[in-house]
Structure 1
Amino acid sequence: MIKKEVFLGLLIGLIANLAGIYLYIALLSPDGLEETILKARQEGFLGSIIALGAILNFLPFFVFLKKNQPYRSRGVLIATLIAAITIAFLKLY
């Protein structure tokens, strides 16, 4: 039961992060989604876009805490840590 709750939180956290990335690109980038991601990767600011997308993880994290669902909150936190590790990997390589 606990693993299922954590996995659900992880899934929601990853979806929120992807939604945040999409919203950032759709609202603030003059290029399309694919062009922006390719340009970001080439110019080295893809990690910044991922970090801005991860801001959207605050919403499900605090909603789950408010609803007393700590295991789902842990899953969202794990998704945020995955984003941080991805950003570190992109900065190093």
Structure 2
Amino acid sequence: MIKKEIFIGFIIGIIANAIGLYFAALIFGNGDDFLNVLSSASSEGILGKLISLGAILNLAAFFIFIKKKQDYRARGVLLATVIVAISTFVFKFI
């Protein structure tokens, strides 16, 4: 039961990060297509920063779960945020 709740929180954290990445690409993409923004961000070396901006929605999901007293789902969101941070760190140095 606990692992299921953490997994649900993790999936919600990944989805929130993907939605946040999409919105960040729309805001900073100057009207370009989403995939074009990602490829240009990758070539310019700012893809990690764009992914980090997308993780802001995880903050909202985390506090919603804390407020609803769903601590294990909040742990899953926190786990997703840590994995995104580690992957951003790896993208920075590859």
TM-score higher than 0.5 here?
A: yes
* TM superposition outliers: structure 1 runs of 4+ over 3 Å: none
Q: CA deviation at 1:58?
A: 0.7
RMSD between aligned alpha carbons?
0.7
Equivalent pairs: percent with the same residue?
A: 48
**Alpha-carbon shift at residue 23 of structure 1 (Å):** 0.8
Between the aligned partners of 1:54 and 1:60, the Cα distance in structure 2 is 10
Q: Matched residues in 1 for 2:53 and 2:61: separation?
A: 15
Aligned-pair CA distance for 1:26: 1.7
Correspondences of 1:7-86 after superposition (within 5 Å): 7-30=7-30, 31-86=32-87
Aligned residues: 93
Structure 2: stretches of 5+ with no match in the other structure: none
**Displacement after TM superposition at 1:54 (Å):** 0.3
Give me the whole-angstrom Cα distance separating, in 1, the residues matched to 2:84 and 2:5.
Answer: 20
Distance 2:83 2:51 in 1: 11
Which residue number corresponds to residue 2 of structure 1?
Answer: 2
Normalised TM-score (structure 2): 0.95
**Mind listing any 5+ residue stretches in structure 1 that lack a counterpart?**
none
Q: Which amino acid in the other structure matches residue 84 of structure 2?
A: A
Q: 1:42 and 1:24 mapped to 2: Cα distance?
A: 17
TM-score by length of 1: 0.96
